Structure 1
């Protein structure tokens, strides 16, 4: 199995070097390129088509969000994680709005960072632990949810718990012995009942309401 490839985009050389050294300790991860700006990051992403991009938020000229938008609009399938010092709620919401695949803080423990990278490569949305409650609070404030768990069928509740555990539709279908199309129907129904708009919101809502397997 080929190693997963990673592009680092950050305007701080020392931080990039430290990240590259940390990631190089993992047998199945390779840093294939480093960029010192958003503009350079876009060029290198198009050239190398990495599996994952670690993208700084606050860069001069082209910032992280604008770079994220450009990368998402480009012809690449890279997972893109915002990697920043900012724990500002509006920054997190912006990153989610423009379809980032994660939002991690630069003061994350090395073990957590590597774990989150692996999870993102598997298709999960990743967020630093300290931000989970902030996001849940934001959802609680903004969504005006009136729906409750008792509105869910037993099958929808099973789907909810598995989504909260980071499972994909394919994994949920296999676990529950149903088709992926049936899973999609259940997910659509539970989103409507809970007043949520995405799987990310489901995960955060589940954390806030202590819904676990």
Structure 2
């Protein structure tokens, strides 16, 4: 996995780089602010990017969309000293594939990067449940769709097409066990218990504009 690391803490930055190299990954660039992170993504097209939420004079969240503009396949994982439901929700809504606290051991941060690279949403389970928990002021039945990963949208399409697990695995070029995991992740985010319920939810409330542009 080729990575770009952007962290304002020099010692942690060094420890991360050494640990990533030891696990067979390659750090292709580092950055000290969001603008450098975007430029590094444009030049190197890394598989994953670790980006600090807070820089001295900038907000890392604002760089997520810009990174995806210049390197659409790069998975962005946010690193923060403070974690709240709103902050995590904002990061995911803007396209982050993961969110991890700075207090976590280096190994946990690397696991988040690896999870994101594999297409999973790398967020602590309890925090993810809080983020996905419906709030009284939200009356949009499809509000949770903004948290779906690209892979989960592909799984949704397979479900809407009535594919079996075997057909889905073949379509996505993954193992059946992996396909089942993707389905379960999708159902969890939608707050439903079966593929039939997921399909019914989309049929009742979704339109062509609901889907990502490239899937319409």
Q: 2:27 aligns with which of 28, 31, 37?
A: 31
2:4 corresponds to: 7
What SS does structure 2 have at the residue aligned with 1:55? strand
1:58 matched to 2:54? The reply is: yes
Write the distance in 1 (CA, Å) between the matches of 2:140 and 2:81.
31
Of residues 116-125 and 70-79 in structure 1, the stretch that sits farther from structure 2 once superposed is: 70-79
What SS does structure 1 have at the residue aligned with 2:49? strand
Alignment of 1:29-178 (within 5 A): 29-137=25-133, 139-144=134-139, 169=155, 176-178=165-167
1:22 matched to 2:19? The reply is: yes
Gaps of 5+ in 1: 147-162, 199-213
Decide whether the 8 Å contact of 2:41 with 2:71 is kept in 1: no
| Cα shift at 1:94 | 1.0
Of residues 43-52 and 170-179 in structure 1, the stretch that sits farther from structure 2 once superposed is: 170-179
| Cα shift at 1:22 | 2.2
| Cα shift at 1:133 | 3.6
Write the distance in 1 (CA, Å) between the matches of 2:200 and 2:108.
30
| Cα shift at 1:76 | 3.9
What SS does structure 2 have at the residue aligned with 1:82? strand
Aligned pairs, number: 174
Write the distance in 2 (CA, Å) between the matches of 1:125 and 1:190.
24
What SS does structure 2 have at the residue aligned with 1:100? coil
CA-based RMSD: 3.8
1:155 corresponds to: none
Write the distance in 1 (CA, Å) between the matches of 2:104 and 2:126.
10
| Cα shift at 1:25 | 2.1
CA deviations over 1:108-136 (Å, ceiling 9, x no partner): 23343332222211111110245234214
TM-score (norm 2): 0.65
Write the distance in 2 (CA, Å) between the matches of 1:119 and 1:100.
12
Write the distance in 2 (CA, Å) between the matches of 1:178 and 1:136.
29
Write the distance in 1 (CA, Å) between the matches of 2:66 and 2:29.
18
Write the distance in 2 (CA, Å) between the matches of 1:14 and 1:71.
25
CA deviations over 1:41-96 (Å, ceiling 9, x no partner): 11111111110000000113331111112112224421111111121222111111
